[in-house]
A and B are shown apart, each in its own frame.
Chain A
Amino acid sequence: MVNFVQGQLILIAFIIFILGLVYQGIQFFKLTRKKEWGVPPSSMEIKREKKTAKQWIIEVLRSLNGTLWETDPALTIITALFHVCLIATPLFLLGHNILFDQSWGWRLFSFPESLSDILTLIVLICGIYFLGRRLFLARVRAISSTYDYIVLLIAVAPFLTGFLAYHQWFDYETVILLHILSGVLMLFTIPFTKLGHMLFFFLYRFFIGNEYSFVRGSRTW
């Protein structure tokens, strides 16, 4: 059982995770088509004057008017930290990289263990903040269901169990098994649940052209 979890199951999880994302990506391009422009957006073609650094900074600050940064700066910082730490911590964790090296013969750069520990703690604190928002903020509670709590748990569980395992609290063997299982569950669910916004955030905001897309979107549904 333990051998299966530590060996084949992780491989299966990675395969499903990658194939699931590839499938969703292909489906997205199948469902959308290239956008035809009725009137060419002429403003894009006008050569802009070179801006000085000061003008550039003023323009960036002005572009933040009315954004989430202005309406809820705490949430902006917390959500940015949460997402960066959520992705960076497992990728650059020393323990994971040693396992990568042992099984596949290559490894990524690793953070010092104390830094990884802090980043994990940041993910957990942000997770508690999101849980609090969901529980106590009327507007979030109005659109929350059990599913939302389960998905939050799926996202945070690998970090909680990883933190417990690193500090060797409780029975290490059980905790590390739970850590692997929760990680596998997260990989399984990313392509098929709302965690899919990991991929679709980029597809929606870079490819679909609408008011808030980051670039001039080239595709339409």
Chain B
Amino acid sequence: MTHQEIKPVDTKKIKEMLNQRKGKMKRYLSHCAHCSICAESCFLYMSHNKDPQYMPSYKAIHSLGKLYRKRGKVSRDFLNKIKGIVWRNCVLCGRCYCPIGIHIPSMIAFARNICRSQEVYPQLDEASSESWL
């Protein structure tokens, strides 16, 4: 176990970050109609045999959505799970299409910011290219 993994999560800071952008992000999250129309616009979804977990809305709901639902009170394990969603499952190419006009990349980017604030980010120097998952 590395030093990073035992360091406690600063939930106060996460909450502060969430509150700072709640006007925009909570509106985006609450106006998502959960229609799944964004799916086909994601090249990762298409190239992973249409696996639902690569859908842009799925990624936003299961990362930033969960952070808001838990009001920032999350564990390191939880942040590590999110890490896989926001870095591995999304490359922030910004081409996702939402019929309502929700800008999904900004939500994923914000979830990345929150993870980074807790020193959770991909460690690409590790032996295997996917070991940071």
Which parts of B75-120 form the interface with A (CB within 8 Å)?
94-95, 97-103, 106
Nearest to B101 among chain A residues (CB) is A204
A31 to B27 Cα, complex, angstroms? 11
- Known contacts: A31-B24, A193-B30. The answer to whether A140 contacts B98 by CB under 8 A is no
The chain B residues found within 8 Å of chain A, CB to CB, are 23-24, 27, 30-37, 39-40, 50, 52-53, 55, 57-58, 61, 94-95, 97-103, 106
Q: Which A residues lie at the B interface, using CB under 8 A? A: 27-28, 31, 68, 71-72, 75, 79, 133, 137-144, 148, 193-194, 196-197, 200-201, 203-205, 208, 210-213, 221
Q: Which residues of B contact A221 (CB under 8 A)?
A: 24, 106
Residue numbers in B under 8 Å from A201 (CB-CB): 99-101
Q: Once the chains bind, are B30 and A75 in contact (CB under 8 Å)?
A: no
Q: For the complex, what is the distance from the CA of A213 to the CA of B103, rounded to whole Å?
A: 10
The A interface is mostly helix, strand or loop, or mixed, namely helix
Cα–Cα, bound, A91→B103 (Å)? 32
Instruction: Provide the residues of chain B in CB contact with A148, threshold 8 Å.
Output: 34
Instruction: Report A-chain residues with C-beta under 8 Å of the C-beta of B33.
Output: 194, 197
Q: List 24 A-B contacts (CB under 8 A).
A: A31-B24, A72-B40, A137-B36, A138-B52, A139-B39, A140-B34, A142-B53, A143-B52, A144-B34, A193-B30, A194-B30, A194-B32, A196-B30, A200-B100, A201-B99, A203-B101, A204-B31, A205-B101, A210-B101, A210-B103, A211-B95, A211-B97, A212-B101, A221-B24
A143-B57, A143-B58 known; A208-B35 Cβ under 8 A: no
Report the minimum CB–CB distance from B91 to chain A (whole Å): 16
A139 in contact with B103 (CB, 8 Å): no
Contacts of B50 in A (CB 8 A): 139
The verdict on A27 contacting B23 (CB below 8 Å), with A140-B35, A142-B55, A204-B100 known, is: yes
Contact, CB under 8 Å: B101 / A143:
no
B102 cross-chain contacts in A, Cβ below 8 A:
204
